[in-house]
Structure 1
Amino acid sequence: MSKVAQELRLQLAKTLTTSGHLRTQPWRDAVESVPRHEFLRGGFFERIDGNGPTAWSPITPKTPRWLERCYEDESLVTQIAGTIVPGDLRGEIMRAPTSSSTMPGLVVRMWEDLRVEDDSRVLEIGTGTGYSTALGCHRLGDERVTSVEVDAGVSGCAGTALAQCDYYPHLIVGDGLLGYPDGAPYDSVIATCGLVSIPLAWVEQTRPGGTVLATLGGWMYSSELARLTVHEGGTASGRLLGGQVSFMLARPQSPPPLGILPDLDQGDEEPAKLAPDVLDDWETRFVAQLAASGTQRITLDRDGSTEHVFLDVEAGAWAALRQNGGQWLVRQGGSARVWDDIQGHVTRWRQAGAPHLDRFEITVTPDSQTISWPA
């Protein structure tokens, strides 16, 4: 297998170079050297598409083309429902993924975007399978990489795979949103989980002039990679990098359960200035999240028609939109006017020329996080 795997690694590096994700020789050397399949010995899940809920089927080293699949540029789900791994299952499962091996193209793009130097000390949030961690170790050396994983079982499997490949970074089991202060200060922080807000701990644990690279989004699931430079005084600023990058949200920042829905028939209907399908666009949905960061979006079939419902569970606010002929109508209730906030923010963005997300600026202070488009 070693010769075949080596050829597959070389082909993967060539593919990632051609796509523009792999841009410098040190990271190409890492991709050509680190055996991704060793981090997928436990198998992964394949999505089974159908008319009902998404189902997942296990793929193991005994499955045909397992090795080849390990070196394709795709994300591979490695855990379902917080505990279930491929070896636990025969047949299919209809539960939500909770851990994965990120597509190599995104992994190396992020490492390249981090812009490390040979002597950089990096804090990685989200060890996962350990493949990304191994690339960091190959590039920087084991002693310069600290990786935090919230799931002890996932961290243990990653540690075994890393040791099998002769990499021995500092592996920490804990809440990655707290960073790891015992190893601070770091030159860079890189996160392989989605976020609603940048934890202040990461800024505090990064030296002034250092970099924080993470994916920012919201509970309507539009997100982008952000690169921030840390400043004196515990602040950081930077920009979104674009590319529609998404990760599973960090568990502590996942949306709350919807619970019992409010009475969506209360209140008066009025014409909506924007139709809810404007949020089918990735950039528009990201802008909407800035105005309603605690809002989740669902659709309901009621009285023979589809309603688009926006719920802020924690604030106790909601909006429900339905189409009547060619017109969209909205009802709103609770502590805030959710749809008014969304359509107002989207309208102002459009009036500014709808600048692309890679022009948006982020500022993090001890008191707040702001994301805005250029004036």
Structure 2
Amino acid sequence: MLPAADPAALRRTLAEQVAAAHPSLAPGWRDAVAAVPREVFLGAHAFRPTATGWEPVHREEVGEQEWLRMVYEDRTWVTQVDGQDAADATGPLAGSPTSSATLPSLVARTADVAALRPGQKVLEVGTGTGYSTAVLCHQLGAQNVVSIEYDPTLAASAVTHLHAAGYTPALATGDGLQGYREHADYDAVITTCAVRTLPPSWFFQLNDGGTITTTISGWMLASGLIRLTLDDDGTAHGRFEDDTISYTLARPHERPPTPVFYPLDGTTRPTHTDPALTETWAGRFVAQLGAPSAQLMTTSTGIILRDVATGSHAWTEPDGPAWTVHQHGPLRLWDQVEDALTAWQKAGAPHLTEFGMTATPTEQTVWIGSPTGPTWHLPL
């Protein structure tokens, strides 16, 4: 029989694992992981992945000891799929996660990248279960933390979780992409969701020299973690980190439903770059920059690109040792992707640490090397 699970001991072990995974992590964030009772925030229900979807796991069914061991694994536990909470699921579901309890190492790493200091006033976009909010409160003081959640049901449960754990930050329900003017101005904005582009409100609600730490993602689900600093002219600058991480897209930025793909006649030509480049982390990120309104699907014979706005599509297939691409519609999606991949390869095919971003409320670009290097505009 396994020994009884002690939550405090499990937290300390988890904190040691997080610190070992990120040796440069500031001690305060390790201490926060060791202090915040994650079991309070995960509640009694979650989903775990299966071959075909998501299987609900209920605390009362697996038992208290096994549940605590699950809670203190350094992993993300999905709590909602396509808007349905795990508590309401009676069997496996297919669909996409819409809320989760993010793995503690990512919560701590994101906060560490943000370089937050005690006494700074922070807006957190995406309260979720409230766990990341509690981590911020432990380090910064609850009086300095404002958190906003899009989903009213999640927001209500987060209030309960945070108060049960002894934390009383300012909490709001609404679209975090609009910020939260009632408590502005902020020294920092930090997000537990990904965005396709930085909302103007975040700029307007920051103090001079304030920072934005977020994940830039898109409809190909490629992403990069970045911290940007606002200069005196109102322009934010930053470089991407080397983390291969992803958060769920903010709900207003989520991908539209993907329809069934039906290839239509168009043009056909050999490819000049290998479609397999889109399977690498940086390659997929570059492809997304090249065709920001397109979705990408991987098949056994190649890739499919479909543009949400125009219905344009492209698909690749092997042609002996090479590849052929078929394109249909007003946009030549593979041309756009191939141009971006070629520019990236000419720059040495660097990882994301060589990428940076320059952003204002009206224009936002991602570049390689410097703002004068290969550059792409984000959709506004």
**Cα offset, 1:181, TM superposition:** 1.4
**Counterpart-to-counterpart distance in 1, 2:5 and 2:282:** 44
Kindly provide the amino acid, as one letter, of the partner of residue 163 in structure 2.
Answer: A
Other-structure match for 2:334: 339
Query: Is contact 2:145-2:169 (8 Å) kept?
Result: yes
Query: Is contact 1:125-1:193 (8 Å) kept?
Result: yes
Kindly provide the amino acid, as one letter, of the partner of residue 91 in structure 2.
Answer: G
**Cα offset, 1:186, TM superposition:** 0.4
**Counterpart-to-counterpart distance in 2, 1:166 and 1:324:** 62
Does residue 1:81 correspond to 2:82, yes or no? yes
1:309-350 deviation digits (Å, cap 9, x = unpaired): 211121342212222333311222222221111111111111
**Counterpart-to-counterpart distance in 1, 2:260 and 2:98:** 25
Kindly provide the amino acid, as one letter, of the partner of residue 333 in structure 1.
Answer: H
Other-structure match for 2:296: 297
RMSD: 2.0
**Cα offset, 1:259, TM superposition:** 4.1
Normalising by structure 2, we get a TM-score of 0.91
**Counterpart-to-counterpart distance in 2, 1:265 and 1:18:** 51
**Counterpart-to-counterpart distance in 2, 1:152 and 1:137:** 21
Q: Which range moved further: 233-242 or 58-67?
A: 58-67
Other-structure match for 2:376: none
**Counterpart-to-counterpart distance in 2, 1:5 and 1:22:** 26
Summarize the alignment of residues 168-247 of structure 1 with structure 2, pairs less than 5 Å apart.
168-247=168-247
Cα distance change of structure 1 residues 314 and 265 upon mapping to structure 2, 3 Å threshold: closer
Kindly provide the amino acid, as one letter, of the partner of residue 32 in structure 1.
Answer: A
Summarize the alignment of residues 1-375 of structure 1 with structure 2, pairs less than 5 Å apart.
4-20=6-22, 23-49=25-51, 53-64=52-63, 65-82=66-83, 84-259=84-259, 261=261, 264-299=263-298, 306=301, 308-374=303-369, 375=373
Query: Is contact 2:200-2:362 (8 Å) kept?
Result: no
**Counterpart-to-counterpart distance in 2, 1:96 and 1:19:** 28
**Counterpart-to-counterpart distance in 2, 1:178 and 1:355:** 34
**Cα offset, 1:258, TM superposition:** 3.7
Kindly provide the amino acid, as one letter, of the partner of residue 292 in structure 1.
Answer: A
Query: Is contact 2:5-2:68 (8 Å) kept?
Result: no
Kindly provide the amino acid, as one letter, of the partner of residue 150 in structure 2.
Answer: V
Other-structure match for 2:377: none
Q: Which range moved further: 59-68 or 171-180?
A: 59-68
Q: Which range moved further: 221-230 or 272-281?
A: 272-281
Kindly provide the amino acid, as one letter, of the partner of residue 36 in structure 1.
Answer: R
Q: Which range moved further: 245-254 or 318-327?
A: 318-327
The secondary structure found in structure 2 opposite 1:238 is strand
Query: Is contact 1:46-1:59 (8 Å) kept?
Result: no
Kindly provide the amino acid, as one letter, of the partner of residue 313 in structure 1.
Answer: V
Query: Is contact 1:41-1:61 (8 Å) kept?
Result: no
Kindly provide the amino acid, as one letter, of the partner of residue 107 in structure 1.
Answer: V
Structure 1 unaligned residues grouped into runs of 5+: none
**Counterpart-to-counterpart distance in 1, 2:284 and 2:268:** 23
Q: Which range moved further: 28-37 or 55-64?
A: 55-64
The secondary structure found in structure 2 opposite 1:211 is strand
Q: Which range moved further: 90-99 or 240-249?
A: 90-99
Q: Which range moved further: 323-332 or 197-206?
A: 323-332
Query: Is contact 1:58-1:90 (8 Å) kept?
Result: no
**Cα offset, 1:267, TM superposition:** 2.1
Cα distance change of structure 1 residues 330 and 16 upon mapping to structure 2, 3 Å threshold: same
Kindly provide the amino acid, as one letter, of the partner of residue 290 in structure 2.
Answer: A
Kindly provide the amino acid, as one letter, of the partner of residue 93 in structure 1.
Answer: L
Kindly provide the amino acid, as one letter, of the partner of residue 285 in structure 1.
Answer: R
Kindly provide the amino acid, as one letter, of the partner of residue 339 in structure 1.
Answer: W
**Counterpart-to-counterpart distance in 2, 1:17 and 1:313:** 41
1:267-287 deviation digits (Å, cap 9, x = unpaired): 231111123222111111111
Kindly provide the amino acid, as one letter, of the partner of residue 282 in structure 2.
Answer: E
Aligned length: 366
The secondary structure found in structure 2 opposite 1:247 is coil
**Counterpart-to-counterpart distance in 1, 2:198 and 2:174:** 17
1:143-190 deviation digits (Å, cap 9, x = unpaired): 110001000110111110100111111111001111111211100111
Cα distance change of structure 1 residues 242 and 299 upon mapping to structure 2, 3 Å threshold: closer
**Cα offset, 1:139, TM superposition:** 1.2
Query: Is contact 2:267-2:328 (8 Å) kept?
Result: no
Normalising by structure 1, we get a TM-score of 0.92
Structure 2 unaligned residues grouped into runs of 5+: 374-380
The secondary structure found in structure 2 opposite 1:269 is strand
Moved over 6 A (4+): none
